[in-house]
Structure 1
Amino acid sequence: MLIESSLFFNQITRIILIISTPLLLASLITGLIVSFIQSVTQINEQSLSFLPKIIAVFFVLSFCGPWMLHYLKDFTINLLSNSLYMFI
């Protein structure tokens, strides 16, 4: 029982990392680009970086959203189908 629980939490952690990576990378890259542009132009306004990050995350979410939902759906189906065997 302990081994199955450990594998289950390992799988959950891996799925969280896989699902969140595209959004985090889009935000990171956009933030770096905006910070570089701000440092070159010497504009030190902190609120300028939020709108490009939101737009980038929305674009990546609209592009990768179906893949993320499919991945989560498969995991949920697998979890529910194996939950009877896991807790008996």
Structure 2
Amino acid sequence: MNEADTYEILSDTFLTVLISAAPIMAIALVVGLIIAFFQALTQVQEMTLTFVPKIVAIFVGLLVFSPFIYATVKRLSDQTYDLIVNGAF
């Protein structure tokens, strides 16, 4: 195993983390923007109004995107285990 292999594994790992987290982060961003827009329109500055819907949306997003996140992480682990089996480590 040389430096290029290590760089490739680390690059794949970072990319997998970003791809796995992207749907949940996008949901949190969209819900946060919608709530901020609603608060700006109505001038309601309730702190719980920002947290509760965002948490609910994140949990629903986790339920919906769990198979995608699992498949993405499983692909990375399969690649890493294949490298171990083939003697790359």
Normalised by the length of structure 2, the TM-score is 0.89
- Distance, in Å, in 1 between the alignment partners of 2:32 and 2:10 is 31
- Distance, in Å, in 2 between the alignment partners of 1:61 and 1:9 is 25
Give the equivalent residue in structure 2 for 1:55. 56
Q: CA deviation at 1:77?
A: 1.9
Give the equivalent residue in structure 1 for 2:31. 30
Structure 1, unpaired ranges of 5+:
none
Give the equivalent residue in structure 1 for 2:47. 46
Deviates more, 1:40-49 or 1:26-35: 40-49
- Distance, in Å, in 2 between the alignment partners of 1:21 and 1:14 is 10
Post-superposition Cα deviations, 1:16-48, rounded to whole Å, max 9, x if no partner, equal 110000000000000000011011110112221
Give the equivalent residue in structure 1 for 2:4. 3
Give SS of 1:86's match. coil
- Distance, in Å, in 2 between the alignment partners of 1:67 and 1:21 is 11
1:21 matches 2:10: no
Choose between structure 1 and 2 for higher RCO, CA contacts under 8 A separated by at least 6 residues.
2
Runs of 4 or more, structure 1, over 4 Å off, are: none
Structure 2, unpaired ranges of 5+:
none
- Distance, in Å, in 2 between the alignment partners of 1:75 and 1:8 is 9
> How many pairs are equivalent?
87
Q: CA deviation at 1:83?
A: 2.2
